[in-house]
Structure 1
Amino acid sequence: MNIILLERIEKLGDIGDVVNVKNGFARNFLLPQNKALLANAANKARFEAEREHIEARNAAKREEARVAGENIDGASYTLIRQSSDTGFLYGSVSARDISEHAKTLGHDIARNQVDLNQPIKKIGLYEVKIRLHAEVVITISVNIARSEDEAERQVAGENVIEATLEASRAEADAQAQEMARASREAAAQRGDVDEEL
């Protein structure tokens, strides 16, 4: 289906471009959201008559998004979640979770503005793009951790999962050595082993 774009759409085109898209994409998204018109003679004439108004409206929205983005660009959000010892979350962090957390901090980010290809499923630091307008994209930092202390350690550059696993290994080694020592002492007391061991 051929359509005329009324705003810039990433990977599709700019305002006024006539592009061919799948019928479902046009009928279910572009046309109902007033992002495009069917590319017929009447709509082409209508678009050319209103082109200046459409471009001015887009420029105003872009400037509004740019101003709003200045306060949010580079922001860092910390989300505390439960996870396994290997760092995999019990559940995941989605665009909705990031949007809701941003709103609690006074940043107005809609769920559909969070550019997250797939949910976050592991503890760590993530750079997430926020698309405030088709031409205004900012980046925020999302810190997924099990506690505030872990979040601070991650920001400092520590790999908390590796540190936790290393501490667990050291504790297991210490327990194994203690058990071996206790076993040798018990055997020595029974007389099964020479005291030299």
Structure 2
Amino acid sequence: MKIILLKDVPKIGRRYEIKEVSDGYARNFLIKNKLGEIATDAVIKKAEDEKKKMNADKANREAKINEQITNISKEPIIVYSKANEEGHLFAGIKKEEILKLIKNKGADIKPEELEMDKPIKETGSHEVTIKISGKTAKIRLEVTAKK
């Protein structure tokens, strides 16, 4: 049975793809759980339109974010945090805080797009990597002690 997936289904396919699955799997799992529907001409046309719209939205978002990232990466983001005399921070700067700072600068980045191994625990200059659709950009953070 041909079916159009309404959501990403592991080991089957991605959203709006047309797949051939067994009748029982389609009726008892995919359709029942609203993960797919039977592929009729009207449903196929609707799915293709949705897929085109989704791809266009994704391309627009990527272009907008790439422009924002180039603007942000030109100058470092300054972060103030409490630290001792040796430059060790009392609380590490986590991914969520960096995302908030980037958002304040004008770029809306998802958590999975920001690559960071561990929280920043020292004052000084640090780099974080943003990876969007295979493209990477580095943003410099200047961590200074709050007085």
What band does the TM-score fall into relative to the shorter chain? 0.5 to 0.7
Q: TM-score, normalised on structure 2?
A: 0.56
Alignment check: 8 A CA contact 1:65 1:136 kept: no
2:143 maps to a residue whose letter is I
Asked if residue 2 in structure 1 is aligned to residue 11 in structure 2, the reply is: yes
Q: Matched residues in 1 for 2:57 and 2:108: separation?
A: 21
Alignment check: 8 A CA contact 2:77 2:140 kept: yes
Asked if residue 79 in structure 1 is aligned to residue 88 in structure 2, the reply is: no
Alignment check: 8 A CA contact 1:78 1:143 kept: yes
Equivalent in the alignment of 2:30: none
Cα drift, residue 136 of structure 1: 4.4
Equivalent in the alignment of 2:139: 140
Equivalent in the alignment of 1:99: 99
Instruction: Report percent identity of matched pairs.
Output: 18
Asked if residue 61 in structure 1 is aligned to residue 70 in structure 2, the reply is: no
Q: Matched residues in 1 for 2:90 and 2:36: separation?
A: 48
Q: Matched residues in 2 for 1:81 and 1:138: separation?
A: 24
Q: Kindly indicate which of the two structures has a greater share of residues assigned to helix.
A: 1
Deviations 1:69-124 (A, max 9, x none): 232233301212222333321011012222333344x3234462432222111222
Q: Matched residues in 2 for 1:137 and 1:5: separation?
A: 24
Asked if residue 124 in structure 1 is aligned to residue 124 in structure 2, the reply is: yes
Structure 1 spans left out of the alignment, 5+ residues: 7-15, 19-37, 149-197
Secondary structure of the structure 2 residue equivalent to 1:4: coil
1:122 maps to a residue whose letter is E
2:144 maps to a residue whose letter is A
Secondary structure of the structure 2 residue equivalent to 1:2: coil
Structure 2 spans left out of the alignment, 5+ residues: 1-9, 20-34
Alignment check: 8 A CA contact 1:73 1:139 kept: yes
Note the aligned Cα RMSD (angstroms).
Answer: 3.7
Cα drift, residue 139 of structure 1: 1.6
Secondary structure of the structure 2 residue equivalent to 1:129: strand
Q: Matched residues in 2 for 1:92 and 1:125: separation?
A: 14
Q: Matched residues in 1 for 2:53 and 2:108: separation?
A: 27
Q: Matched residues in 2 for 1:117 and 1:110: separation?
A: 17
Structure-2 change in CA distance of 1:142 and 1:81 (3 Å): same
2:138 maps to a residue whose letter is T
Alignment check: 8 A CA contact 2:65 2:108 kept: no
Q: Kindly indicate which of the two structures has a greater share of residues assigned to strand.
A: 2
2:13 maps to a residue whose letter is I
